[in-house]
């Protein structure tokens, strides 16, 4: 009997010894598991865009029926792990991250479908904008992130809300148990997320300093999880204690800071070295070859995923040797489908507006932008209104969160709102090799209330162009929102090319156009991408000019004053990706204006007319503009530009102004390229015309392109100058091949570099039938001007 007891004791002792051995950590030892009940954990490192390689690793593991029982990630690894734990297949993940939608999330560029053009500010020549409050310090007015998180924040809420609700906000109850990390830089420690808002947890884990703004959770500001733990194998081991860990690591080696490299210094100050060992006795590290990828270069998604797949395939036999258990593809698919079936449809029955310092009228304004007292709001219905709210220049940030109520079966949408700073200043202009240099300064003062108000003004100063504008926009957030906007503008154009300095030349110029006008306008949105604007106002235009090239500094110019009342309408739809040198999107506009006014001509010292002249003019003018870019074909992209203009001046009682110069200055002009807007070329002006052109763009790199553009201008009736400087129409053309040969044309070829603050271009331009048709322009900045009085 004692012998039997001794044998039993030895068996128990031996089993305990074996069990004790499996809890010790021997990173260097890799041996096969002897039982078929082993659990497998997958750990995904951070690493920016290179983290997309984790998808290829998961794809390879699933194809080989390797079980995944737990998953843990940090930073980009947290996003990939989150998608997997929500029930995404590797194929679905691969498709998503290769889409334009995902690229927009990662770059902060708003997708065309989410652009709310009604709230977009008028284009101007600004390079950079500073936003500030007078009651805060300078450091509080510095920007904290490079990209806008608006797209990403909503996408995370949209895609994780149902899965988190199905798991009752417990990360152990997701499709597979999940963990992710963020960094508390105040306490200098990692924060592990085991429960709560899934999208918020992943967003915090991805908040790379200076690129993506941090997230505040429970009053703690959280940053990228990779700062303190870029490979959370220890969290996997502590929380789940798996038998085998498969790690996918794309993080670069820790680099020592360099004295001339600011980024390396900041990285060294913020980050800690991470342990890339699997920690448990049995583990394998897969290291995809993705070190060629820039930190934020998400455009090469498929290639990055393939690198992970290849790296995993190289290790798959070793993994199979160590993991005896296999999954069944059919059962895995059923388990996924079962978890997805548990996810409730996202329908909101209430919206909670929160934000530090928000007042009652401000909350009322925000609420009315989102909803007009609807009881139940599906996610698809609230989405465009979310982006409309985010586009409001009085709102700095909107962070969406959702909470599921099991009793009602509906969600509550919580929006954490941060008000934009009240004051913003803009600086910009254009620097070039021609005397068209100019500076620009603008300022806005916004008032968030119900209704909201924006006071703004700007000034341009230069040799060619000087301008000042003040306006006030009042936004009413009704069911059918609209704005009212009084505007006062002064423009001065000097087309005399003699000096490149910034000071106004006081000696007589060949041609000067001075405009003063005041308008009251009202605007209405047309879905997300369009708007209608109507307005009416008074304008006073003064043209100063010589009708001869022979004049001295003591001569006085001829002068034409035109005082007018006009009303106009504008419909426009705009999805262009840039305010100048666009390469994607479409702009379409129809505008019309009724003008009635009085012309008064005063003869100068060189005039052939001895007497002053007075006349009344009334006319209607219409204009249609279409500018579009087609999808890329490899490195090439094509665009089309078309314009139609019609004026009733030819059939009015007084079709022409008193002389040729004043007539042409009050004609509709064709100016399709940036440089053409700086010239006064009568050959491209008419009362009625059609014009079109083709644009060919070679995409050299993300920010560099080579453009070739050509346009034809076809006036219905050319306006010709008679020997005594009076005006008449040429005979209506016969539309044949000979007529096409007589058309005026504009062509441009340019290398364009788009920087974060402005555009540099080197262009060769051609204008036919000018005597000197070629122009070489080197330019940095924007050739964008305030709107003219009678446009």
Domain coverage including residue 373: 347-419
End residue of a domain, out of 283, 308, 336: 336
Please report the pLDDT score of residue 424 as a whole number: 94
Is the pLDDT at 272 greater than 70? The verdict is no
| CA–CA separation, 394 and 445 (whole Å) | 9
Residue 684: per-residue pLDDT:
95
Report whether pLDDT(772) > 50.
yes
Read off the pTM: 0.84
Residue 588 lies inside a defined structural domain of this protein: yes
- Looking at the domain assignment, is residue 13 inside a domain? no
First-to-last C-alpha distance (Å) of the chain: 110
Q: Is the pLDDT of residue 490 over 70?
A: yes
Domains held by the chain: number: 3
pLDDT of residue 733: 66
Q: Are residues 280 and 351 in the same domain?
A: no
Answer whether residue 30 is part of any domain. Answer: no
Tell me what percent of the residues of the chain surpass a pLDDT of 70.
88
Question: For all residues of the chain together, what is the average pLDDT?
Answer: 87
CATH of the domain at 555: 2.40.160.50
**Which contiguous run of DSSP H or E holds residue 776?**
strand 774-781
Rounded to an integer, the average pLDDT of 25-49 is 64
Top pLDDT among 626 and 24 is at 626
Among 419, 442, 471, which residue terminates a domain?
A: 419
Count CA within 13 A, CB hemisphere, residue 579.
19
pLDDT digits (tens, 9 = 90+) for 436-468: 999 999 999 999 999 999 999 999 999 999 999
Mean pLDDT of 79-84: 97
- Is 26 within the bounds of a domain? no
Task: Please report, rounded to a whole number, the percentage of residues in the chain having pLDDT higher than 90.
Answer: 69
Residues 408 and 432 in one domain: no
Rounded CA-CA distance 619/621 in Å is: 7
CATH at 356: 3.10.20.310
For the chain, give the number of residues: 791
List for the chain the helix, strand, coil content (%; round to 5). 25, 35, 35
Q: Which two tokens stand for residue 295?
A: 């930190």
- One domain for residues 724 and 671: yes
What is d(CA 130, CA 233) in angstroms, rounded to the nearest whole number?
43
Peptide bond into 769 cis (omega under 30): yes
457 shares its domain with 388? no
Q: Are residues 95 and 192 in the same domain?
A: yes
207 has a pLDDT exceeding 80: yes
CATH number at residue 206: 3.40.1090.10
Write the CA distances from 734 to 651, 713, 721, 739, integer angstroms.
20, 15, 21, 7
> In this structure, which long-range contacts are made by residues 425-428, counting pairs with CB atoms below 8 Å and at least 24 apart in sequence?
425/129, 425/130, 425/132, 426/124, 426/126, 426/128, 426/129, 426/130, 426/458, 427/126, 427/127, 427/128, 427/130, 428/124, 428/125, 428/126, 428/127, 428/128, 428/758, 428/781, 428/782
Considering the domain architecture, whether residues 102 and 225 belong to the same structural domain is answered as yes
**Measured between alpha carbons, how far is 501 from 434 in angstroms, rounded to an integer?**
10
Q: Are 254 and 271 in contact (CB under 8 A)?
A: yes
At residue 295, the pLDDT reads: 78
Q: Decide if 120 is inside a domain.
A: no
Burial of residue 188 (CB within 10 Å: 0-12, 13-18, 19+) is exposed
Instruction: Compute the distance between CA of residue 59 and CA of residue 53 in angstroms, rounded to an integer.
Output: 10
Radius of gyration of the chain (CA): 33
Compute the average pLDDT of residues 645-656: 88
- 722: nearest Cα among 660, 658, 667, 666: 660
Query: Do 198 and 60 sit in the same domain of this protein?
Result: yes
pLDDT band at 147 (very low <50, low <70, confident <90, very high): confident
Residue 117 domain-assigned? no
pLDDT at 276 > cutoff 60: no
Of 476-485, 648-657, 662-671, 675-684, which range is least confident?
A: 648-657
If asked whether residues 263 and 378 sit together in one domain, one would say no
Residue-by-residue DSSP string for 347-413: EEEEEEEE-TT--HHHHHHHHHHH-SS-S-EEHHHHHHHHHHHHH-TTEEEEEEEEEEETTTTEEEE
**Shared domain check, 170 and 158:** yes
> Domain end: 385, 404, 419, which one?
419
CA separation for the pair 35, 85 (Å, rounded): 25
Residues 463 and 358 in one domain: no
Residue 142 lies in a domain: no
Q: Does residue 717 form part of some domain?
A: yes
Task: State whether 54 and 199 are in the same domain.
Answer: yes
**Lowest-confidence segment of 343-352, 491-500, 713-722 by average pLDDT:** 491-500
Task: Name residues whose C-beta falls within 8 Å of residue 716's C-beta, 6 or more positions apart in sequence.
Answer: 686, 687, 688, 689, 690, 732, 733
Question: Which pLDDT does position 527 carry in this prediction?
Answer: 87
10 Å Cβ neighbour count for 181? 28
Res 588: pLDDT: 98
Same domain, 402 and 451: no
């Amino acid at each position: 009997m004692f012998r039997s007891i001794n044998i039993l004791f030895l068996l128990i002792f031996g089993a305990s010894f074996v069990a004790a051995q499996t809890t010790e950590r021997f990173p260097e030892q890799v041996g096969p598991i002897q039982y078929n009940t082993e659990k497998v954990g997958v750990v995904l490192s951070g690493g920016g865009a290179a983290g997309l390689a984790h998808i290829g690793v998961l794809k390879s593991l699933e194809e080989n029926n390797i079980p995944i029982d737990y998953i843990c990630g940090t930073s980009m690894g947290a996003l990939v792990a989150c998608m997997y734990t929500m029930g995404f297949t590797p194929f679905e993940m691969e498709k998503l991250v290769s889409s334009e939608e995902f690229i927009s999330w990662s770059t902060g560029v708003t997708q065309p479908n989410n652009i709310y053009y009604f709230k977009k500010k008028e284009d101007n020549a600004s390079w950079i904008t500073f936003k500030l409050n007078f009651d805060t310090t300078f450091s509080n007015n510095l920007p904290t992130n490079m990209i806008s998180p608006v797209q990403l924040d909503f996408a995370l809420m949209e895609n994780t809300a149902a899965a988190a609700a199905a798991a009752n906000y417990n990360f152990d109850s997701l499709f597979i148990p999940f963990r992710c990390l963020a960094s508390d830089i105040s306490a200098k420690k990692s924060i592990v997320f085991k429960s709560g808002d899934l999208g918020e947890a992943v967003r915090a884990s991805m908040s790379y300093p200076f690129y993506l703004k941090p997230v505040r959770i429970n009053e703690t500001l959280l940053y990228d999880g990779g700062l303190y733990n870029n490979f959370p194998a220890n969290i996997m081991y502590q929380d789940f204690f798996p038998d085998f860990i498969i790690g996918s690591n794309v993080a670069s080696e820790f680099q020592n800071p360099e004295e001339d490299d600011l980024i390396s210094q900041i990285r060294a100050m913020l980050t800690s070295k991470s342990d890339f060992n699997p920690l448990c006795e049995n583990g394998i590290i897969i290291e995809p070859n993705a070190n060629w990828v820039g930190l934020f270069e998400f455009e090469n998604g498929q290639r990055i995923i393939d690198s992970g797949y290849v790296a995993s395939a190289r290790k798959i036999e070793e993994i199979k040797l160590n993991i005896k258990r296999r999954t069944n593809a059919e059962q895995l698919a059923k388990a996924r489908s079962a978890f997805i079936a548990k996810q409730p449809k996202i329908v909101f029955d209430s919206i909670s507006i929160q934000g530090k310092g928000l007042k009652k009228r401000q909350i009322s304004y925000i609420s009315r932008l989102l909803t007009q007292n609807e009881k139940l709001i599906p996610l698809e219905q609230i989405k465009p209104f979310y982006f409309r709210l985010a586009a409001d220049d009085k709102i700095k940030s909107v962070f969406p969160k959702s909470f599921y109520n099991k009793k009602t079966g509906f969600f509550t949408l919580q929006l954490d709102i941060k008000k934009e700073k009240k004051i913003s200043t803009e600086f910009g202009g254009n620097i070039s090799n021609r005397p068209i240099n100019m500076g620009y300064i603008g300022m806005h003062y916004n008032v968030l209330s119900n209704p909201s108000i924006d006071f703004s003004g700007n000034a341009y100063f230069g040799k060619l162009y000087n301008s000042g504008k003040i306006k006030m926009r009042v936004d009413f957030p009704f069911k059918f929102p609209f704005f009212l906007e009084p505007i006062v503008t002064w423009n001065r154009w000097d087309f005399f090319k003699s000096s490149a300095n910034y000071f106004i030349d006081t000696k007589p110029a060949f041609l000067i156009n001075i405009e003063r006008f005041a308008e009251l306008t009202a605007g209405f949105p047309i879905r997300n991408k369009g708007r209608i604007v109507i307005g009416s106002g008074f304008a006073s235009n003064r043209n100063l000019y010589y009708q001869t090239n022979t004049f001295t500094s003591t001569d006085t110019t001829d002068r034409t004053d035109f005082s007018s009342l006009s009303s106009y309408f504008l419909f426009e739809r705009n999805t262009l990706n840039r305010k100048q040198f666009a390469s994607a999107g479409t702009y379409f506009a129809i505008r019309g204006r009724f003008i009635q006014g009085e012309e008064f001509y005063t003869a100068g010292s060189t005039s052939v007319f001895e007497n002053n002249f007075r006349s009344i003019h009334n006319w209607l003018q219409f204009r249609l503009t279409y500018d579009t870019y087609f999808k890329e074909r490899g490195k090439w992209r094509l665009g089309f530009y078309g314009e139609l203009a019609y004026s009733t001046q030819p059939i009015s009682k007084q079709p022409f102004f008193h002389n040729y110069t004043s007539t042409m200055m009050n004609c509709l002009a064709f100016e399709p390229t940036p440089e053409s807007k700086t010239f006064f070329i009568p050959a491209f002006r008419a009362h009625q015309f059609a014009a079109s052109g083709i644009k060919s763009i070679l995409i050299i790199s993300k920010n560099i392109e080579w453009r070739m553009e050509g346009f034809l201008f076809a006036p219905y009736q050319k306006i010709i100058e008679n020997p005594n400087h009076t005006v008449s129409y040429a005979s209506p053309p016969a539309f044949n091949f000979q007529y096409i040969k007589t058309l005026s044309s504009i062509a441009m070829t340019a290398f364009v570099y788009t920087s974060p603050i402005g555009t540099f271009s080197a262009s060769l331009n051609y204008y036919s039938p000018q005597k000197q048709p070629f122009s070489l322009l080197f330019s940095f900045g924007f050739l964008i001007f305030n709107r003219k009085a009678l446009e």
